Structure formats: C-alpha cells, structure tokens
Amino acid sequence: MTSEDNIKPMGLGVSLLYFGIPSAFISFSIYVLMQYFHASGMNDFVNFYLTMALPLALMLVAALVAYRSEGGSMTWKALTGRFRLRSMTGKDWLYTLGLFVAMGLFQGLLAPTAKWLIQFKLFAPPEFLIPAVDPRLKQSLVTDVFMGIPLKGQWWIAVVYFVALLFNIFGEEFWWRGYILPRQELAFGKWTWVIHGVLWTLFHVFWKWNLIVLLPSCLALSYVVYVRKNTWISIITHLMFNSIPLVAIIIGIIG
C-alpha cells in the first residue's frame, strides 16, 4: 500500500513532462483530429466527445496506472489516502465556496482578454472549432440547440454531458492534484502552488487565447489545495464551475 510517506519527489523536469504530454495529446486532438473529423462530415457532438472528453477521461486512467506503478493498493483506504480524498471540514467548505466565487470573478473580469488575444496570429484559434468553444463566436449561456441538436425533451444529452463531465473532473483532479501535487511538494516546498498553478495554466495552451483568463484561477485553486491538503476541494470547485453549461443544457431540455 502506498502512502504519502514513501512517494518520490517530482522535480521540474519530470513535472514539465507530466504536464506537457497530456497538453500535447489534447492539442493534437483539437488541432488535427477535430479538423479531420469535421472535414469528414462528423457530427459536432460526436466530434467534441471524441477529441475533448475522451482524452480527459484517459487522464483518470493515467492517474490510476501511475498510482499502481508506485505499488499502490486498489483498496478504498489506500486510494483515498494517496489521492488525499479526505473528509470535508467546515473550513474546507468555506475555502471551496470562496474559491468558487474568486474563480468566477477572475474569469468574469478577464474574459475580454481572450477576444483581445485572438487578434494576434500566435493566439488565433484553429481554422475550425466546435461552435460551443469557439472564442470568435458570441456564446449564449441559455440555448435551445446544443452542438446542432435541438435540446427540448432530449434528456440523453444531459446524461452524456454529465458522464463526460465526471470523467473530465476526476481525470484532471486525480492526475494534477491527487497524483502530481503531493510529489511536487517534496521537491518545491512552499513554492509548489506557484509552480503547479503556472504549469496547469500552460497545460491549457490548446486554449491559448484563454491563458490570461485561466492563470489567476489556476494559481488560486493550486494554493487552496496546497494549503488544505484535500483534493475534494478542487474536485467540488472544478465540478461546480464546469457544470454551468450543464445547467443551461437542462434549461434548454425543459424548454
């Protein structure tokens, strides 16, 4: 059984590798596969989940494989111990709420920077992006069509979105905060949250026009989880934040 007492430090070189490989994989998926599937006539809904949701789900698999490579036991006690899935205290819930509000403010205030950055060739989006994530298009929170599919009465869309959302959140959080962060703490000490937050921001280079928007949120989340040593805080905050489109989808389904 693996505990935090016998994990190995993760220095900058290995950290760059562990952040860089998932980023490169998703970048390839968006900038090459998404374009190819679109040109082949694939439905946007299917294209999105193949090129975005599936790679993020694979991060969950990667986290579990990495955990097993340490000699970790697949018992609930060992798994929750290594990934810091600890009981939420009252203070943890306050941190979670504060983090959610802070991230909302950061992203709301800095959202215009994405429109500014896409004016520069270096930060321009690829030729094709699924309309739901294309910064060149005006996005409406509440809509009656999702990726070309009329929403009214189509509850299966909410179910598929929710399942993909869970894979996304648990994939990222198990990999970044559960597996990597404790190892980085052994190498970087009090500067861990800064290095982790910057690397997590740079992981999102496939959304390069959002890097300014994301940086404060990535740093804030990294800091809180570093201080509280509880991955549930980032899981819950990340889930709440990424569930906003799901709420809009449900409103569209109800009509």
The alpha-carbon radius of gyration of the chain (Å, integer) is 19
Q: Mind listing the pLDDT tens digit for each residue in 65-88?
A: 999 999 999 999 999 999 999 999
What are the C-alpha distances in Å from 235 to residues 13, 53, 186? 26, 17, 22
Q: Which two tokens stand for residue 45?
A: 């809904």
Residues recorded for the chain: 255
Report the DSSP beta bridge partners of residue 149.
146
Q: What single-letter amino acid sits at 198? A: V
For residue 2, what pLDDT is reported?
47
Q: What single-letter amino acid sits at 15? A: S
SS percent in the chain: helix, strand, coil, step 5: 75, 0, 25
Q: How far apart are CA 83 and CA 180, in angstroms?
A: 9
Give percent of the chain above pLDDT 70.
98
Q: How far apart are CA 80 and CA 107, in angstroms?
A: 31
For residue 176, give the H/E element and its range. Answer: none
Mean pLDDT of 133-139: 86
Place of tokens 């569209």: 252
For residue 215, give the H/E element and its range. Answer: helix 211-228
Q: Which of 65, 62, 70 is nearest to 26 (CA)?
A: 62
Place of tokens 């990934």: 83
Q: Mind listing the pLDDT tens digit for each residue in 157-193?
A: 999 999 999 999 999 999 999 999 999 999 999 999 9
- Long-range CB pairs of 131-136 (<8 Å, 24+ gap) are 131/44, 132/44, 132/48, 132/245, 133/48, 133/207, 135/209, 135/210
Q: How far apart are CA 93 and CA 82, in angstroms?
A: 21
* pLDDT class of 214 with cuts at 50, 70, 90: very high
Q: How far apart are CA 42 and CA 40, in angstroms?
A: 6
For residue 203, what pLDDT is reported?
97
Q: Mind listing the pLDDT tens digit for each residue in 234-253?
A: 999 999 999 998 999 999 99
pTM of the predicted model, to two decimals? 0.93
* pLDDT class of 206 with cuts at 50, 70, 90: very high
For residue 189, what pLDDT is reported?
97
